[in-house]
Chain A
Amino acid sequence: MQQSTPPPIPIYSKQAAKTEPEILSRSFGLLVSAFFIAFAGLLFISGNSQNQNYATFLDIFSINFTSIVLEAVPFMLIGTLVGGMIEVFVPVSLIDRFFGKGEKSGVFLAGFMGLFFPTCECAIVPIVRRLILKGVSIPAAICFMLSGPIVNVIVMWSTAVAYTHNWKMVLLRTGCGYFVAVLIGLIIARFAQPEKLIVENVAEQSLRGCACGGDEFQKIPMWSKIIHAVGHARDDFLYVGKYLVIGAFIAAFLRTIIPVSSFTGLSDSPWIIIFLMMVMAVIMNLCSEADAFIAATFRWLVPGSAQLGFMVLGPMLDLKLIMMYLSVFRKRAILLLSVLTFGIVYLLMLIIDVLLPPFV
């Protein structure tokens, strides 16, 4: 009996760029990448400087940079793996039913998904990228991206520990995270063409060009499917990884040169201190599982609403995340998302500051 040769595993590979805007965008990306490499290289080489202040700066910067990357990369790798598994094993019909285009209830549901898939913000971007490729509606994907790192049990636990089991703070953080994410999801759902928010290659691939969901694909052995999923994850890592590194670099740089006390000593006015704490959250790029411990150290110095603003905004918007968003969203969309997120969180915190009695 003749044994049939198993079919080759259809590993996904990227489409070549064709359109002029994409070529221009790629050229600009190359230029930015080259500039970043040159800058980082010069910074490293100049470490032999005799200037003591500079040497100290470089030492602290190196610690900050490598520790942020080492902390974030594993979670991003796990995120890409989860994304690859979603691509291969989650049926398209299921996605269409709950999170497909036109399913507004999907936004409300997506806000809770972090409870079932607890992920930090480093893992969420590759997962969301993959979810969009799979066919999840843009508003639902954005809602999950914003709420996932806050509305999840690990972050709720770490917040409870940092605030000595102050359940008001835990509930407020979780509730605000859900509210802001759903509100932004619903605003995006009002757009005529939310697809225009995402970059071209993601938009093209979201036509399910990989054929993972096809009947032919379903016939291949399980191990082949797993290898296929890992292939997706690997490509996502190689694609998104550079954004993480650049984001971590900028974050570490600012973390090294800006003293924490410069934020707290500026004003007693709640509307200024809330704003400053939110700016600090964007600059500090803390992991959502660790930020509560940092926020809690400000309890003697700033009102609860400002601490809450720090913890609600940080997992949704920071420098590292903004760089990673570039792998999914257009630059104008990132600007829009940033302004929306910052504005809504800020207004919400002002309302909380006025209406709620002290809760910390």
Chain B
Amino acid sequence: MLLRLLNISLLLVWAFFLVWLLTYGKGDLIRLIHPRLWWVLALAAGVLFLFFISFIVPHKQSGGETKTLVELPALLILLIPLLFFLNARDARLDGSAVQNRFNADESGFYSNNLPLFDLFDDTESSDMTFSKILREPQKYENQDVAVVCQSFVHEQLPENTAMCFRFMITCCAADAVPVFIFLSHQDSLKMENDRWIKVSGPLSVISNEGMEFASVGVEALEYVEEPAFPWAL
């Protein structure tokens, strides 16, 4: 009986957690899962409620009883992701994640982790300028642009050069890979690392080893709040 109650509680906790994510917790969910997969989470919540119903419908008990002590660890294990979600809410993918996920050749040159094809439609929740520039830098060459992204200042980069990155998401945050635009700036500009910035200036295209990279000559820089949709698409 106790095990049955624990099982029911576990299913309800997970079901309500998913429902909460899809209603009040969207701001947290968008940092973990691509919005095109949210309907699957809704389906999962529905399946969990079905499981709950199957528990409360009266039925014949058959077979041997399973001891609560034996099953309890399995139930606790299923609650561990919810525990770490509490930490994930305030956590952000930052410069250390960029270094962890960048592809680099033998000389240490970073490559943009960018498919050559538009994956998904633009969303209203996103400032798509960054993604558009990444995909078609030539289209914006010699034009003044303004992009919102995270600053990446690193000693390996040439003098007066920084990078401005976002993570490109395909399914979830664990799959997300960093993509970037170079920033060239004046001596006098001191840019803080790992901050959301809005930079404006003329865009140029530089080539290296068959790859083309967008570079913005920084004319104006301001620190801004993290956007509601922080990903690149």
Binding site for B on A (CB under 8 A): 8-16, 26, 30, 33-34, 36-37, 40-41, 44, 47, 56, 58-71, 73-75, 77-78, 80-81, 161-162, 164-165, 227, 230-231, 233-234, 237-239, 241-242, 245-246, 248-249, 251-252, 255-256, 258-261, 264-265, 286-287, 289-290, 293-294, 296-298, 300-301
Asked whether A260 lies within 8 Å of B60 as measured between CB atoms, the reply is: no
Contact pattern, B 144-182, Cβ under 8 Å of A = 1, otherwise 0: 000000000000000000000000001111110100000
A13-B63, A44-B83 known; A81 and B99 CB under 8 Å?
Answer: no
Q: Is the CB of A60 within 8 A of B209?
A: no
User: Whose C-beta in chain A lies nearest to the C-beta of B74?
Assistant: A242
Chain A residues with CB under 8 Å of B64's CB are 14-16
Give every chain A residue within 8 A of B116 (Cβ-Cβ): 164
Which of A15, A64, A164, A230 interacts with B174 by CB under 8 Å?
A: A64
In the bound complex, residues from chain A placing their C-beta under 8 Å from that of B44 are 73-74, 77-78
Contact A290 B93 (CB under 8 A): no
Q: Tell yes or no: B2 within 8 A of A by CB.
A: no
How far apart are A73's CB and chain B's nearest CB, in angstroms?
A: 6
Q: Which residue of B lies closest to A72 (CB)?
A: B172
**Residue contact B115 to A62, C-beta cutoff 8 Å:** no
Check B80 against A37 for contact (C-beta < 8 Å).
yes
> How many residues does chain B have at the interface if contact means C-beta atoms less than 8 Å apart?
78
Contact of A161 among B58, B87, B101, B115 (CB under 8 A): B115
Interface status of B48 (Cβ within 8 A of chain A): yes
User: Does A233 lie within 8 Å of B51, measured CB to CB?
Assistant: yes
Across chains A and B, the number of contacting residue pairs, with CB separation under 8 Å, is: 234
Of B104-112, B124-132, B219-227, the one with at least 4 CB within 8 A of chain A: B104-112
Q: Are A293 and B170 in contact (CB under 8 A)?
A: yes
Contact A265 B80 (CB under 8 A): no
User: At the interface, yes or no: B59 with Cβ under 8 Å from chain A?
Assistant: yes
Residues of chain B with a CB closer than 8 A to A255's CB: 174
Evaluate contact between B77 and A242: CB separation under 8 angstroms.
Answer: yes
Q: How far is the CB of B232 from chain A (nearest CB, A)?
A: 12
List 8 tightest A-B contacts by C-beta distance, closest first.
A16-B64, A59-B91, A33-B73, A74-B44, A8-B60, A297-B113, A67-B172, A234-B51
Is there contact, CB below 8 Å, between B117 and A164?
A: yes
A60 to B104, CA, bound (A): 21
Interface pair B114/A300, CB less than 8 Å apart: no
Answer whether residue B214 sits at the interface, using C-beta atoms and an 8 A cutoff. no
Tell whether B134 is near chain A: CB-to-CB under 8 Å.
Answer: no
Determine whether the beta carbon of A62 is less than 8 Å from that of B87: yes
| A157 CA to B162 CA, complexed, in Å | 36
Q: B207 near A: Cβ within 8 Å?
A: no
Q: State whether A14 and B63 are in contact (beta carbons under 8 Å apart), knowing that A66-B85, A242-B74, A293-B175 are contacts in the complex.
A: yes
Within the complex, the shortest CB–CB distance from A193 to chain B, in Å, comes to 26
> Is the CB of B40 closer than 8 A to any CB of chain A?
yes
Known: A8-B60, A300-B209. A77 touches B80 (CB 8 A): no
Given known A44-B83, A66-B88, contact A227–B57 (CB-CB < 8 A)? yes
Contact indicator A290/B76 (Cβ below 8 Å): no
Chain B proximity of A42: nearest CB distance (Å): 12
B112 to chain A, nearest CB (A): 8
**Which residues does chain A contribute within 8 Å of B113, judged by CB atoms?**
297
